[in-house]
Amino acid sequence: MKISRRSVLAGAAAVPALAALSAGSAQAAPLRTAPSGTGLRVGVGIADVTGPVAENGMMGYSSFDQVAEGLHQRTRARAYVFADAADTRVVYVCVDTCMVFQSVHDEVIRRLHTAFGGAYTERNVMLTAVHSHAACGGASHDYAYTLANLGFQPLTFQAEVDGIVEAITAAHDDLAPGTVAYGRSELTDASVNRSRIAFDRNPQRDKDYYPLGIDSSMRTLRITRSGTDVGAINWFATHCASLTNENLLISGDNKGAASYFWEHDGEGVRYLDGAPGFVAAFPQTNSGDMSPNLHLEPGKGPTDDEFENARIIGERQVAAARNAFADAETMSATTVDSRVMYLDMANQVVDGRFTPDGQQRRTAPACVGAAMSAGSTEDGPALPLFPEGARNPLVDALGGMNAPVPNWLADAQAPKLVLVAVGLLPPDGWVPHVLKIQILRIGDVYVVGGPAEFTIVSGLRIRRTVAEELGVPLENVIFQGYANSYSSYCTTPEEYEAQQYEGGSTLFGRNTLPAYQQGYAALAAAMHTGADVPRGPAPRDMSGFQPNFGPEVPVDAPLAGRQFGDVLVQPASTASAGTQVAVEFVTGHPKNNLHRGGTFFEVQREDGARWLRHADDGDWSTKFRWRREGSNASVARITWDVPAGTPAGTYRIQHFGDRKNPDGSITAFTGTSAPFTV
């Protein structure tokens, strides 16, 4: 019997597969300043988190075939520190990655403790991801999330941790008196509900809150100092999956694009100049069932070009955020606060207050359902990680994944058709089960962080729970998914019954959401009264055994008769807006030097006796592609789509490469194209 990609027919046969594990700008009005003496201080920071852009599996679609071959745009961490008059602090970070894994979270917290003592801890630091499906993979210590990457990738992990810590440090150093304002706008043409069948199972009260079947709210914090806007955090629910699983270039996708367009605002490269300037983050909320593919097909909608779609969906988010930014009102409160708790989601007893039938229920150890394996037709099919006849060396090293599914677990997960009981696989499950939930207070706003992909109604119910406990308006509570760790999806119990992709990916069973609601109610009640809550069990440490079966970087050799940095393809002598400039260089492997905080190339403009950087590998208009020639030679292809408004003049492209020598040392080199006229 066939298993559809979106739902599972009763009695469908299980398959030995663990598949996809996620599957025009308005001018802002002048801001009314807050009363003096409020004591609120704010700081912003930004840093590069780009990992290996070649011969490294990408994260999001869990496809063996999606191995990076270059860079579309560098990925960034954007950090914001808020401190009140009592110097109580919270840190909010948004990263252009697919997920923030527990491994990254824990190492970031450890390094912050080393650098700042007790100022920044797991309690007051929230790390979130935009969920780009074009990000580097391999940062997790949880085996289920590194299967397609053939294991843990230290370069990815190190780049993410280093960049996040650098962004927080920059925001810490940037702290100064400021004001925060909160605004909201509507955005109805940047998302579509990809699981309407499941959504329609929810009670009418929930559906009435979302009459279009989407979460159309753009919620924005406007951050200002001395009358100058220095940052914005812009929450909107849409999957960061405009780029398909056929794309092989690392990118922040539509949300990375949105940040870039607002931060640059037509001013060109700014990231390498030291000062952060204006820092604009575009985080997720409850986007588990929100797709940017408006035609409900990968890479389709608004156009049939995936990069154009990423640009358009990004620009639409910017336009909506600017509207919310312009209408933002300074918050009446300047209090900063935080609460955190760890829940063992595999073993939660849930009070009837939070369950649909009013009865006490339980969660269960994590299981992957057939609907999860089948995938999401709207954002990308889930290719089985074990096609017939293929083997995964990581699975072999871990002893296989054929643990039997006991009857009690099958019953607890019903009506899910369980394929793999990932929570029972040795040594302690292949996905995390002790998970962090968190609430940050920033003035009048409460940011509720959850470690999964929550559907819009799941997020709504958590917001209602928190708002009721705190006694604040619902609109003052913002839900933040993809926070601090990752455990696939969370649907409502009613949506779970449909066993669409999102329900099959809700690991801990039908009562996953009620268990979260119960935890958030305790956090909110404690915040309301000023009490503390028990931390809960410690998240497990899986760092001890992390095999890596990715390819080794060989010694580099130039093409026959060539030297490193030689130009193989020169640009045309003239270019104009709307045309593409293309250059190819003899290069080394990009893993030899990630150039994190730097660039693999520059588009340079002649200025008298100087050549000034005009664009680089962080810009929307450029692409860096790498390919292997033979066993040891590499070629870098750099393209620049000349934007409208590019100043006339003489330009060239300079490549910064690195080669691995026979003794293992790395040597830098440069290559420079012939000049051309724009």
What digits encode the pLDDT tens for the residues 122-166?
999 999 999 999 999 999 999 999 998 999 999 999 999 999 999
Taking the C-alpha atoms of residue 180 and residue 170, their distance in angstroms, rounded to an integer, is: 19
Mean pLDDT of 214-240: 97
Q: What is the mean pLDDT of residues 562-569?
A: 98
Reported as a pLDDT band with limits 50, 70 and 90, residue 28 is very low
Tell how far CA 260 is from the center of its chain: 15
- DSSP codes joined into one string, 183-238: EEEE--SS-EETTHHHHTTS-HHHHHHSTTSS--EEEEEEEEETTEEEEEEEE---
- Asked if 29 and 110 touch (Cβ cutoff 8 Å), the reply is no
Q: Which is more confident, 307 or 403?
A: 307
Nearest to 49 by CA among 124, 101, 1: 101
* Helix or strand holding residue 380 (H, E): strand 380-381
On the question of pLDDT at 11 being above 70, the answer is: no
Q: Which two tokens stand for residue 670?
A: 């440069």
Are 77 and 94 in contact by the 8 Å Cβ rule? The answer is yes
- Dihedral, CA atoms, 339, 343, 345, 350, nearest 10 degrees? -80
Provide CB contacts within 8 A for 676, sequence distance 6+.
571, 572, 573, 574, 575, 581, 650, 651, 652
Question: 9 falls in which pLDDT band (50, 70, 90)?
Answer: very low
d(CA 128, CA 66) in angstroms, rounded, equals 23
Q: Is 32's pLDDT higher than 60?
A: no
- Average pLDDT (294-313) is 96
CA-closest candidate to residue 21, choices 541, 547, 502:
502
In tens, the pLDDT along 596-655 reads: 999 999 999 999 999 999 999 999 999 999 999 999 999 999 999 999 999 999 999 999
Least Cα distance to 193 among 250, 238, 140, 252 occurs for 238
Q: Please return the burial class of 186, using the count of CB atoms within 10 Å of its CB with bins 0-12, 13-18 and 19+.
A: exposed
pLDDT digits (tens, 9 = 90+) for 248-278: 999 999 999 999 999 997 444 455 444 558 9
Mean pLDDT of the chain: 91
pLDDT band at 12 (very low <50, low <70, confident <90, very high): very low
Strand ranges (DSSP E) for 504-649? Answer: 567-569, 580-587, 601-607, 610-616, 622-629, 633-641
24 burial type by CB count under 10 A (0-12 exposed, 13-18 middle, 19+ buried): exposed
Task: Give the side-chain half-sphere CA count within 13 A for 404.
Answer: 3
**pLDDT mean over 349-368:** 97
State how far the Cα of 70 lies from the Cα of 622, in Å rounded to an integer.
11
Q: What is the DSSP string of 31-56?
A: PPPPPTT---EEEEEEEE-----EEE
Q: Which two tokens stand for residue 463?
A: 């917001």
Range 373-382 average pLDDT: 65
Please report the pLDDT score of residue 620 as a whole number. Answer: 96
Residue range 401-432, pLDDT digits in tens: 877 899 999 999 999 999 999 999 999 999 99
pLDDT for 374: 62
What does the pLDDT look like over 518-554, one tens digit per residue?
Answer: 999 999 999 999 999 999 999 999 999 999 988 899 9
Catalytic residue among 185, 259, 291, 338: 291
Residues 6+ apart with CB under 8 A from 549: 150, 151, 393, 394, 397
Residue in this structure with the two tokens 């802002």, named with its chain if needed: 28
Report how far residue 373's alpha carbon sits from residue 4's, in angstroms, rounded to the nearest whole number. Answer: 10
Task: Give the mean pLDDT of 657-666.
Answer: 97
Q: For residues 433 and 452, what is the distance between their CA atoms, to the nearest angstrom?
A: 11
Mean pLDDT, residues 347-352: 98
Residue 3 has pLDDT above 70, yes or no: no
So what's the pLDDT on residue 260? 96
Output b/e per residue, 385-401; b: 16+ Cβ within 10 A: bbeeeeebebbeebeeb
Could you tell me which of 111, 53, 141 has the C-alpha nearest to residue 485?
Answer: 141
Task: Look up the pTM and report it.
Answer: 0.93
pLDDT of residue 379: 74
| φ, ψ for residue 262, nearest 5 deg | -75, -40
Q: Give the tens place of pLDDT for each residue, 73-115.
A: 999 999 999 999 999 999 999 999 999 999 999 999 999 999 9
Over residues 210-230, mean pLDDT: 97
User: What is the model's pLDDT at position 400?
Assistant: 82
Residue 20 has pLDDT above 90, yes or no: no
Catalytic, 291? Answer yes
Give the per-residue pLDDT at 33. 41
Average pLDDT over residues 172-181: 97
Sole residue written with tokens 């046969």: 13
